[in-house]
Amino acid sequence: MAEMQKSWRDGALRLSTLPLLLLMGLFFVIPLIMTALLSFQGTQYYRLVWTWDTNVWTDVFSQIHYWKIMWRTLTMALVCTLLCTVLAIPIAYAMLHRLSRWSDQITLLMVFAFLTDAVLKTFGWVLFLDRSGVLNGTLEAIGFPPAAVNVLFSPNATMIGMVYNLLPYTIFTTALSMARIDRDLVLAARDAGATRLRAFHEVTLPLAKPGIWAGAVLVFVLSLGVFLEPKVMGGGTSPLAAELIRQSFETRVNWPLGAALTLVLIVIGAAVLAMAGVLAFWQARRGSND
């Protein structure tokens, strides 16, 4: 604590944070303020008019359509976060322990897949899942009826694409924090009488929590802003918030509306993160009093 207080009085230290402050100010705080200001303007004949009124906001709050999309975006993001987080735990664990011999190769392949352009990967899924695509062709060849898997162009397909594209984030953060756990701690739990599963539950999982949380937050924030997967794999039938915002700016050329919807999305995301933070804090406190 003393060190923290002292560091604020350290002039050189304060100076060294200047570039970061500048960066955050220029590219985060100022654009955010500009977006907020923009939402109080109007449009006429596809041109921005500096009206300084709340017409756009009245529009946003009166149209149930926007809120349906916001709600869908939020639930999709939460489900995607849950899936990515839950899937990443066994994958990361297996990568580090059961398949540790091939851990480097697996990581390399994952990095390749991760760095491949998302557009290519998403269209790859279309080819794979299509009614006459690779998956259905293979299933037909081994005796399934034609087009057995008909998932493409539905919200489920969107979810598959989102989970696929975002899963590496949770795998990497979870694996990183699991790799830092001293192997002796697991052995100590085993030695004290814990089964493998119990040792995982008592030692590995709680100690990997920071990485799991970090991955969940990353995936949640990123999944709020997806537009590629709903468009390509979801077939554009159930657009999410990012698509709505894009349309407002580009198709309808209604910048104030786009700005207002952007703010709504940011507030929703921030509120959920804040709630998760409070939840995690209470859980930690309850755990320590247990």
Partner 1 sequence: MASPIIQATGIEKYYDTYRALTNISLSVANGEFLALVGPSGCGKTSLLKILAGFEDLSGGSLVIDGQDMAGMPASARPTRMVFQKLALFPHKTVAQNIGFPLHLAKRPKREIDTAVRRMLELMHLKESYLNRYPHELSGGEQQRVALARSMVSQPPVLLLDEPMSALDAKLKKSLQAELKHLHRHVGTSFVHVTHDLEEAMMLADRICVMRAGEIVQIGEPSEIYYRPADAFVAGFIGDTNLLPAKIMQVGEGFEFSCDILKCSSPRLDAEQVAAGVAAGADALLMIRPEMLRLLALGETADCTLAGTVREYFIRGASIQYRISIDDTEIVMDVPGTSVLPAQQGDAVQLGLSLSDLFAVEA
Q: Report the half-sphere exposure of 194 (CA within 13 A, side-chain side).
A: 16
Q: How far is the CB of 101 from partner 1 (least distance, A)?
A: 13
Taking CA 221 as the corner, what is the angle to CA 216 and CA 227, rounded to the nearest 5 degrees? 125
β-bridge pairing 42-44 and 47-49: antiparallel
Report, in Å, the least distance between residue 95 CB and partner 1.
Answer: 22
Q: Which is nearer to partner 1, 65 or 183 (CB)?
A: 183
Residue numbers of the site for partner 1 (CB under 8 A)?
A: 182, 184-185, 187-195, 198, 202-203, 206-207, 288, 290
Alpha-carbon distance 39 to 256, whole Å? 4
213 vs 280: CA distance, rounded Å: 9
CB of 290 to partner 1, least distance (A): 8
- Nearest alpha-carbon partner for 260 in 105, 40, 67: 40
Nearer to partner 1, 205 or 218 (CB): 205
**Helical spans, DSSP H, in the chain:** 2-9, 11-16, 18-24, 30-38, 55-62, 64-93, 103-115, 118-129, 134-141, 155-179, 183-191, 196-199, 205-224, 228-232, 241-246, 255-289
Tokens (6 digits) for 247: 């349309």
Report in angstroms the alpha-carbon separations of 219 from 32, 131, 171, 180, 278: 21, 29, 11, 22, 19
CB of 285 to partner 1, least distance (A): 13
In this structure, what DSSP letter does residue 99 have?
Answer: T
Least Cβ distance, residue 207 to partner 1 (angstroms): 6
Of residues 19 and 193, the one with the C-beta less far from partner 1: 193
Nearer to partner 1, 6 or 198 (CB): 198
Q: Which is nearer to partner 1, 139 or 194 (CB)?
A: 194
Using the minimum distance from each CB to partner 1, give the nearer residue, 131 or 209: 209
Least separation in angstroms between CB 36 and partner 1: 41
